[in-house]
Structure 1
Amino acid sequence: MKKHFVLILLLVAVLICGGYLKVSYVIQPGDTLYEISKKFKISISTILDWNTLLDPLKLRVGQQITLPQPEGFLYTVKQGDNLYTIARMFFTTVNDIRIANDLSSDFIKPGQELFVPRSCIGKAFNTEKGYIWPVYGILSSPYGWRVHPITKQMSFHTGIDIAAPEGTPVFSSTNGVVSFAGERSGYGLMVEIKTGKDVVRYGHLSKICVYKGQSIERGSIIGRVGSTGVSTGPHLHFEVLANNNTINPLAILPSTSKVYVLKEGVEEIGAGGE
């Protein structure tokens, strides 16, 4: 009993100090992602983000998976990243990332893994129009006619491109149900979500964190930015269809100058930047 009590104290101390645990779980007969998600109190999308090779519809008994406690996500620092830019990728604050990783300074280096708790993600989603920006990045190609960057021919761009580092999380812009999750010509790895009469597509992903038929809430992680399919570099292709016709996504998204907006009462501490 005494050893068990000490172990609990140590576990609580690790969590309070800003650490996280990687729990290894061996899939048992009868397990489903839903049951595992309930047991460990983490979302199915989080499980899939941590276990890239896991087939959500064909779990193998005896297969070992990794589950984070508390729920959260890893991001590998790239050249040119800083805490300010990473906080924006997760729509959270620099201070939240400092605390979660027990950082005594703002110094980070390429290759370093940072943990971002699910509980702090979304503090800066701008929800004024219902749809939120699915990724924090730079608008690199608008909707409409353009010279295709690869074919160099005039073609109609059915969505917008948002450039961001590979591995940047992609969040569902709205509630809905996943109608497609996989590889599609041109789009590379793509997720399609139906919401009422609208269909939203997220293309060129490096990783997919959802499966067909899954119900998704706005702000849930659905994948990571990549450069799969017909692409010249890491970015998200974001496309919206209303009544089977594509529309300019900028018409339903908040202003490009208000992609990241901290909710009232939430303060960014020591971030600097723009």
Structure 2
Amino acid sequence: MRRISCFLFVFFFLVTAFGGFLTVTYFVQQGDTLYDIARKFRVSPSTILDWNNVNPLKLSVGQKLIIPQPEGILYTVRRGDTLYNIAKAFFTSVSDIKQANNLTGDNISVGQKLFIPTASIGKAFNIEKGYIWPTFGVISSPFGWRRHPVTRQMSFHSGIDIAAPEGTPVFSSAPGTVVFTGERSGYGLLVEVRSSKEIFRYAHLSKITVYVGQKVDRGTLIGRVGSTGVSTGPHLHFEIEVLSKEEVVNPLAYLPSTTRVYVLREGTEGMGGE
């Protein structure tokens, strides 16, 4: 009985409540893998990596991990933010954010942390063409020949640049397997996801939340927008290479219209595109 009481004490001591969610502090055990821990708590490995600065392939015994329950992502409010533009960044609805954070009005303050439940993320993904926009933003540089913003030399731009505030979530545009994570010259922090027909590249990230060998679904969080590598400001460089041709293609040919990046589907808070 005493042993059970001690266990319950430790368990509750390690669980912290914040508004509409809890965080569990888990200490890595011998033989643990990130995948095993994610399954134990019924969360994605990407969620654990987003909440913790750890090497997914080099966990050490006793290492502390913070795991949210229910599963979700934290967002820190920036100057100029509204609940609506935060909802667009997570492809969710304002009502979901308000409910998850016990908000009764629309007022938010700079520095405030908002919890976005994973269950509500993606309600506004436009899936009409099978591929989704990897982040919500504005195209700052198109595919094709251009004058490079840093070198000022004419060069071929192998993808599209989507400008968005640093820390904006980046989602996998299509399902596949992660084949590269890390730094690469020019690209900065880069994630490569391989499907049966294409390789998708997500570059200039500020944080990577996947690991090599991880299988991702359409909409899996793979990182956060940043400005690493050769970059003039926060944005996502998104690139698609067709394996059969061994050449890059214009991502706009695969993605939904730029006027319908964010579309709330039936049964959610209204309908519309942005």
Length-normalised TM-score, structure 2: 0.91
Aligned to 2:92: 92
Cα offset for 1:197? 2.2
Cα offset for 1:126? 0.6
Aligned to 2:262: 260
Aligned to 2:36: 35
Are 2:95 and 2:269, in contact at CA under 8 Å, matched by a contact in 1?
no
SS of the equivalent of 2:25 reads: strand
Are 1:44 and 1:210, in contact at CA under 8 Å, matched by a contact in 2?
yes
RCO higher in structure (CA 8 A, sep ≥6) = 1
Aligned to 1:51: 52
1-side partners of 2:224 and 2:119: how far apart?
Answer: 19
Instruction: Describe how 1:175-254 pairs up with structure 2 within 5 A.
Output: 175-243=175-243, 244-254=246-256
Are 1:191 and 1:208, in contact at CA under 8 Å, matched by a contact in 2?
yes
Are 2:77 and 2:108, in contact at CA under 8 Å, matched by a contact in 1?
yes
Instruction: Describe how 1:163-174 pairs up with structure 2 within 5 A.
Output: 163-174=163-174
2-side partners of 1:197 and 1:253: how far apart?
Answer: 15
1-side partners of 2:179 and 2:29: how far apart?
Answer: 28
2-side partners of 1:92 and 1:110: how far apart?
Answer: 20
2-side partners of 1:75 and 1:21: how far apart?
Answer: 15
What is the percentage of aligned positions where both structures have the same residue? 63
Aligned to 2:121: 121
2-side partners of 1:78 and 1:185: how far apart?
Answer: 30
SS of the equivalent of 1:200 reads: strand
Q: Which amino acid aligns with 1:49?
A: D
Question: What whole-Å deviation, never above 9, does each CA across 1:154-173 have from its counterpart, x for those lacking one?
Answer: 11100000000110000000
Q: Which amino acid aligns with 1:216?
A: V
Cα offset for 1:268? 4.0
Aligned to 1:158: 158
SS of the equivalent of 1:98 reads: helix
1-side partners of 2:70 and 2:265: how far apart?
Answer: 23
SS of the equivalent of 1:59 reads: coil
Show structure 1 runs of 5+ residues with no match: none
SS of the equivalent of 1:21 reads: strand
2-side partners of 1:81 and 1:226: how far apart?
Answer: 18
Are 1:94 and 1:268, in contact at CA under 8 Å, matched by a contact in 2?
no
The count of aligned residue pairs is 262
Cα offset for 1:237? 0.1
2-side partners of 1:38 and 1:156: how far apart?
Answer: 43
Aligned to 1:141: 141
After superposition, the CA RMSD in angstroms is: 2.2
Q: Which amino acid aligns with 1:74?
A: L
Give runs of ≥4 in structure 1 deviating > 2 Å. none
Instruction: Describe how 1:58-73 pairs up with structure 2 within 5 A.
Output: 58-73=58-73
Q: Which amino acid aligns with 2:25?
A: S
Show structure 2 runs of 5+ residues with no match: none
Question: What whole-Å deviation, never above 9, does each CA across 1:119-161 have from its counterpart, x for those lacking one?
Answer: 0000000111111000000111100011111111111100000
SS of the equivalent of 2:132 reads: coil
SS of the equivalent of 1:257 reads: coil
